[in-house]
Structure 1
Amino acid sequence: MFEKIVVGIDGSPQSEHALRMACDLAQKYSSELHLVHTPQPQTVAFAMGAVAGYHAAMAMPSLEEVEVACEKIVSSAKAIAEECNQKITQTHTEPGDPADHIIACAESCGADLIITGRRGLGSIGSLLQGSTSQRVNHLAKCACLSVVE
Structure 2
Amino acid sequence: MYDTIVVPVDGSPEARTAAEQARDLAADIGSSVHLFYVIPATGYLFGVDAVVDVDKASSRVAELATDVFGDSSVDVQTTVRRGDQETLTLAFLEEVDADLVVLGRKETPKVRDYLFWSTPAQIVRESEISVLLAYPDADGGDR
Question: Normalising by structure 2, what TM-score?
Answer: 0.77
RMSD after superposition = 2.6
1:130 is displaced (CA, Å) by 4.3
Counterpart position of 1:51: none
The answer to whether the 8 A contact 1:36-1:101 is kept is no
* In structure 1, distance between residues paired with 2:54 and 2:96: 25
Question: Letter of the aligned partner of 2:70 in structure 1?
Answer: E
The answer to whether the 8 A contact 2:34-2:78 is kept is yes
Counterpart position of 2:30: 30
User: Mind listing any 5+ residue stretches in structure 2 that lack a counterpart?
Assistant: 137-143
- 1:13 and 1:65, CA in 2 relative to 1: closer, same or farther beyond 3 A? farther
- Give 3-state SS (helix, strand or coil) of 2:39's partner: coil
Once the two structures are aligned, what percentage of the paired residues are identical? Answer: 25
User: Mind listing any 5+ residue stretches in structure 1 that lack a counterpart?
Assistant: 42-59
1:66 is displaced (CA, Å) by 2.6
Q: Say yes or no: does 1:83 pair with 2:71.
A: yes
The answer to whether the 8 A contact 1:6-1:114 is kept is yes
1:109 is displaced (CA, Å) by 1.7
Counterpart position of 1:39: 39
Could you say which structure has the higher helix fraction? Answer: 1
Aligned length: 131
**Runs (4+) off by over 6 Å:** none
1:92 is displaced (CA, Å) by 2.2
* Deviations, residues 120-139 of structure 1 (Å, cap 9, x unaligned): 45262314564111110000
1:114 is displaced (CA, Å) by 0.4
Question: Normalising by structure 1, what TM-score?
Answer: 0.74
